[in-house]
Structure formats: C-alpha cells, structure tokens
Amino acid sequence: MVKVLKSVLFFSAIAMCAFLVSCETEKTPPTNTTQSNGVVLNFVGLINGDDIFSSTKMSGKFGGELFSVTNWSILVSHLALVKENGDTVQLGDGYQWVSFKDARTSFKYLNIPEGNYKGISFMLGLDSAINHGDPNKWPANHPLNAFTTGLHWGWSGGYIFQALDGNYTKDSVTSTSNGFSFHAATDLMKTNFNLPFNYTVDKSVKTAIIECAVEKMFDSPNPILFKNTSVSHSESPAEIILMKAILENAQNVYKITKVQ
C-alpha cells in the first residue's frame, strides 16, 4: 500500500509540473526581436521620365539633340537626414557610391532616431583631406575603395566625384553619333544638395524614392549643347567653367517624390 501511495504521489507531482510549465508558456507570448526603425534610400535614374538604361533609344534634350547615357556614377559624403529643427542624422559613415550602370542604387540604414524630418542632404564629392588621402585604406566594397568604384585618379591624386558618359547626335535626322564625357573632380567641384520632403520615422522601415532626372543636368539655368562642348574632366579653365555650369544645373536633378 505504501509503495502504491508513493507512486501515485510521484506521478501526481509530474503532472502538476507539466501543467505549471504549460500555463507559464501560455502566459509568455513570443517576443519580436527583428523590428527596427530605419530608412531605405532608393535612387531612381531617369531620362525624360523613362528608366535611364531601359532602352538604347536616344532621348531628346535641349536644342534638338538626342542622347543616351552609358554610365552615371556619383560619390557622396555627409549623407544625412535633416530634422525639423535643421539638425542632421548621419546615415552610416556618411559616404555612399551610387552607380546606375551597376544597379547600385538602394541603401538601407537601421536604428534611425524616431521623429519628424524635413529632408535629406548630401555633398557631391569629398572633403579635401579624404579626397587626397590614401584610397587603399578603405575596405573592399566601401564607397571610397578605388578598386570597387573605379573613381580614383591615381596619377593626379583625388577622386572623380561624378562620372557621366554617353552618346549623342546633333538632331533626329543625323545617324552618326558622338560620345560625351563629363567627369567632376578636384576640390573645386564639391557641391551641396538639400532635398526637401516632410516625413516621419517611426517603428518601421520607410523607403524614400529619390528621382534623378539626368536630362536636367544640361538644361537650366545653363543650357548646354553637346555639339559645342562634349568633354570636361575638370582640368583646363574652360573645362572647369563647363563643369561648374553642369553642377549648378544638377540642383534640379534630384528630387524626393515620396517616403512610404
């Protein structure tokens, strides 16, 4: 009888422990540890409203010329979100390489402070110390790694801030095309951009769509005809004047169209 009683008590205790564990499990819901607030910057390259590389067909531009783009690549620094009060929140280490040819156009940043923002800012180009520093110190896949981007002039020192290359014809009748090449470089070509747009960062990842209309690079306020000048490597006085005009036009190129 004693053995039977001990067995009953033993199995009763096991059943009670299992019941308590089951209740505790039901009371404690699983915790979601993957949620993180942030922002994705999605640069969309356009040529007269179409995808910049969707077709080899040439598009019209100022003066009746037709053109197409084979390469558009930019180096930016001080990339940041702008708060309502004007303070900035740097994204990553502030550097980024955007290459439409290589489809390197989308960048995700997590753990962004929640709150209201009024835009995005960045500088095309680099501060002088970085521009003329050792390009080999940057790790592979970093925006400033010369082997990754191909945007470093080893022979002269410094980076190419923007490479824009393509082909053009002087009108819709001419079948023969010529090439154009506009490379912004040297400390003189650093250019700041502020893209206004009101949005809120909350407990989610928002995507900012930044449309980049390449044809506006040659339109206003400085209309540029390829047949008059189709090359600038930011070297001679004439090339410097031309590149300054292109970068002034570039203030109309970038636009945030939505944050969703």
**Domain map (residue ranges) of the chain:** 1-30, 38-259
Q: Contact 97/151 with Cβ under 8 angstroms? A: yes
The C-alpha atoms of residue 167 and residue 27 are separated, in whole angstroms, by: 67
DSSP class of residue 86?
A: S
The pLDDT tens digits along the chain (260 residues) read 444 334 433 444 444 444 444 444 344 444 444 557 899 999 999 999 999 987 667 899 888 999 999 999 999 999 999 999 999 999 999 999 999 999 999 999 999 999 999 999 999 999 999 999 999 899 999 999 988 999 998 766 799 999 999 999 988 888 789 999 999 999 999 999 999 999 999 999 999 999 999 999 999 999 999 999 999 999 999 999 999 999 999 999 999 999 99
- pTM for this entry: 0.84
Please state, in angstroms and rounded to a whole number, the distance separating the CA atoms of residues 229 and 232. 8
Are 116 and 88 in contact by the 8 Å Cβ rule? The answer is no
Supply the DSSP string of 7-53, one letter for each residue. HHHHHHHHHHHHHHHHHHHHHSPPP------EEEEEEEEEETTEETT
